Amino acid sequence: MTAHVHQFPCLKDNYGVLLHDPATGSTATIDAPEAAPILDALATKGWTLTDILVTHHHADHTQGIGALKARFPDARVTAPAKEAAKIGGVDVAVAEGDLVSVGKLRAKVLETPGHTAGHIVYWFEDEAILFAGDTLFPLGCGRVFETPMAVMVTSLLKLTRLPIETKVYCGHEYTLGNARFAITVDPDNTLLQTRAAEVEELRKAGKMTVPTTIALEVATNPFLRIGDPALQRAIGMAGADPTAVFTEIRERKNRA
């Protein structure tokens, strides 16, 4: 892996993430939740911002763009074509299958609607890194605001087909709450029990639980295990359509 990734807290529970190509000096911020921590991180690392890669239009992922552009006016804003009008100031609008460059690093754009109708993620295949925004979280997924539940299911299943070693960075530190909820719907999953205990210890120590991996999520994330008979039985939906199972556990999580 040639890419350098630097992650740090922003706002209340967001993450800022910088992706740096040491070969060219190019640096991207994944979303822009808050300008000040991003600028501080750039200064600490001695990196120059060249790109802003936006996953979706929500303010807690875009509100820092203006201040970042004021400091780095040549930074290129790349964002989902289907949400570019809501974001504003977009230099490059991208859609499914498009390629995005950060120096010599290359990402494929995957459309993952559900949390928002135009949400995208950035998959750096050679580096085995996925920047998932608010589509996939450790032990969870984003709330479904702008599409039917089935659309989010399709998006999540798309991500499960990525190489299992892929590291997944996301927009928030939600893992503790997600772990506690996951146990309630998948109580007999021993891997989940072990992981939940590890998450409790990490958060007690003030440590981050991100990134995760596709392999770990497929094994322990209830929103990716909607076709598993044990989980279905645990929530009283044995043999049910997986989308109906997803809808049930997503609605339970919304109420949690």
Q: Tell me which DSSP letter residue 58 carries.
A: -
Place 105 in a pLDDT band, splitting at 50, 70 and 90: very high
Contact between residue 91 and residue 17 where contact means Cβ atoms under 8 Å apart: no
What is the C-alpha to C-alpha distance for residues 191 and 202, in angstroms, rounded to an integer? 16
Question: Catalytic residue among 20, 57, 119, 172, which?
Answer: 172
Q: Is the pLDDT of residue 92 over 80?
A: yes
pTM here is 0.97
Q: Is the pLDDT of residue 50 over 60?
A: yes
Catalytic-residue membership of 119: no
Contact between residue 195 and residue 139 where contact means Cβ atoms under 8 Å apart: yes
User: Model confidence over 190-216: pLDDT tens digits?
Assistant: 999 999 999 999 999 999 999 999 999
Fold of the 4-169 domain: Metallo-beta-lactamase; Chain A (3.60.15)
Catalytic-residue membership of 126: no
Catalytic-residue membership of 57: no
Domain spans, the chain:
4-169, 175-255
Question: Catalytic residue among 56, 57, 119, 186, which?
Answer: 56
